[in-house]
Each structure stands twice: as C-alpha cells, then as structure tokens.
Amino acid sequence: MTEQLLESLGQAVVAGEFDGRSFPTEADISQHYGTSRSVTREAVKMLTAKGMLAARPRSGITTQPQEQWSLLDPDVLRWMLERKFSYELLRHFTEMRLGLEPAAAALAAKNASPEALRTIELGLERMAAAERGDGDHLAADISFHVAILKATGNPFYMQLDELIATALKISIRMTNRIKGHTASIPAHRHVFDAIRAGDSARAGAAMNSILTEVMALVAAGDKNGTRRAKRARV
C-alpha cells in the first residue's frame, strides 16, 4: 500500500497537480486514497526524502520546486520521463551517460572478472537473440549496459544500475523509433571485445561512439518534433 500511494502521489506532484494550491494533509490523503495514517505518513516521508515535499510544523506539507528534487532517484527520473516526454530531459540524461559510461567501459576493461565478462557477453547474446525474434530488445540492451557498470568493480558505478536502467527504458524506445531499427549489435560487440581484450582506451572510445549516435538521434528527434509543432500551429 505504501508503494502504491508513493507512486500515486509522486506522479501527481511531478504532473503539477498541486501547483498553486496547498498540498493535502495526511488525514485528507488517507481519506482520499483509503489508506491508513501510518501508510500515508511513510509515503510522505519517502517523498520528502526524494526532495519533492517538505513537512514543517504549523506550515504543513508543501511541494518543493523541481530544483530540489533528487533527480538521480530512479523513481523521480521515471516520473519525470513518463509525465510528458521531453527531449531536453533526455538530452540532459544522455549527456550524463556520455560522462559516465565510456569511463565505466574503460574501467571494466581493467577490472572485469571472468564472471563479469561472461555477464556482459550474455547481454550481447540476448541482443543477438532478440534480433532473431527470440527475446526482448529493450531488456537485452539494458542488461548489456548494466553489466558493464557492474564489471567496473567500483561500488559507485555499480549503484547507478537502477538509474541507468530506468532511463534507458525511455531512451532506447525513442532512439529505436527514430532510426527505425534496434541497437547496433556490431557497435556493442566492439565495446565487449575491447573490454575482453583489456584495452581501456578502445573500450571507452567504442562506448563513446554508441552514445554520440544517441545524442545525434535525440537532436534529430527534437528537431523533427519542433517542426511538427510549428506546422500544427500554422
């Protein structure tokens, strides 16, 4: 019940349903959603921890501006991406990936254990199987990128797995739709081969190449969307 209420309230805050008006009291929330006070209180605490709400004595519960939200929180990022598709938000996220994933691939080339290498390879094999119609393209692509984060052996990179997976679900669907086909398996194989060979420079460059293409696709999608919006107004 707490998770369900968290989802409903989080989506409502991100959608701006409480902009310009007071956030309901815990009693009002409990009555509206049919939840106990303890469940309501816990959901409010979780949203407060995510920077979306503030609860103070005498002033009650208030929504916080977007600048205060924990954008690296997978729930917050997912709510924002699902609220209304935004090329700007997707561009910002891809810029972050460009700063992280090539370095992660380079680090994986140095540190990947045999087990970690096999997990990356399994992600690649799942992508190839999905290309033949056996499996899900999206899940396979995500598993490949997450496996590289874990192969770094760095606990900070490893804890980015949920964040990366959350946004990739939106990003990959969009880029596949723009280019008319799924991710390039040869491009991903170049990354894996470099990691397996222990070639950090090549691994980083190969991952950078994949993400540079993603940035170009985001820019193209944004440009086409702007054109369609202009035509619709004419």
* 108 plus 176 within the same structural domain: yes
- Domain-terminating residue out of 18, 42, 68: 68
Express each pLDDT in 43-63 by its tens digit. 999 999 999 998 887 778 889
d(CA 207, CA 63): 39
Question: pLDDT value at position 132?
Answer: 87
Average pLDDT, the chain: 87
110 plus 39 within the same structural domain: no
The closest of 212, 216, 149, 211 to 178, measured between CA atoms, is: 216
pLDDT at 180 over 70: no
DSSP 23: P
| pLDDT on residue 5 | 93
In a domain, residue 89? The reply is yes
Asked whether residue 76 is assigned to any structural domain, the reply reads: no
117 and 219 fall within a common domain? yes
- pLDDT tens for each residue of 81-100: 777 667 788 888 889 899 99
Residues in the chain: 234
Band of the pLDDT at 184, cuts 50, 70, 90?
A: confident
Neighbours of 66 (CB within 10 A): 14
**pLDDT given at position 84:** 67
Q: What is the domain extent for residue 23?
A: 2-68
Specify the 3-state DSSP secondary structure of 43: helix
> Can you give the pLDDT at residue 38?
92
Q: Are residues 128 and 12 in the same domain?
A: no
Can you say whether residue 16 is alpha, beta or left, with left for phi > 0 and alpha for psi between -120 and 50 degrees?
left
- Identify the pLDDT of residue 23: 87
Domain co-membership, 100 together with 205: yes
Average pLDDT in the 203-218 region?
Answer: 93
Whether 171 maps to a domain, the answer reads yes
Backbone angles phi, psi at 19, to 5 degrees: -65, 130
Res 188: pLDDT: 95
Q: Could you read off the pLDDT of 60-83 as tens digits, one per residue?
A: 888 998 889 998 888 998 888 777
Average pLDDT score over residue span 131-153: 92
- Total domains in the fold of the chain: 2
Residue 78 lies in a domain: no
CATH code (residue 137)? 1.20.120.530
CB 108 within 8 A of CB 207: no
Task: Examine the domain organization and report whether 94 and 159 are in the same domain.
Answer: yes
Predicted pLDDT at 182? 66
End-to-end CA distance of the chain: 47
Q: Rounded distance, CA 185 to CA 121, Å? A: 12
In the structure encoding, which two tokens stand for residue 128, read together?
């190839």
CATH number at residue 18: 1.10.10.10
Of 178, 186, 155, nearest in space to 90 by CA: 178
Token pair 């005498």: residue:
58
Cα dihedral 11→97→210→79 (10° resolution): 0
- Tell whether 109 and 52 lie within a shared domain: no
The owner of tokens 């938000």 is 89
Examine the domain organization and report whether 149 and 206 are in the same domain: yes
How many whole angstroms separate alpha carbon 157 and alpha carbon 150?
Answer: 7
Comparing CA positions, the residue from 180, 178, 184, 177 lying closest to residue 211 is 184
Which range of 119-133, 165-179, 188-202 scores highest in mean pLDDT? It is 188-202
- In the prediction, which pLDDT does 175 show? 73
For residue 178, pLDDT over 80 is answered with: no
Q: Is residue 100, in this structure, part of any structural domain at all?
A: yes
Q: Rounded CA gap, 152 and 102, in Å? A: 11
Per-residue pLDDT band at 229 (split at 50, 70, 90):
very low
Verify that 93 and 146 share a domain, yes or no.
yes
pLDDT at 13: 92
Question: Which ranges of the chain does DSSP label H, i.e. alpha helix?
Answer: 2-14, 26-33, 37-49, 74-83, 87-111, 114-131, 137-151, 155-158, 161-179, 185-197, 200-233
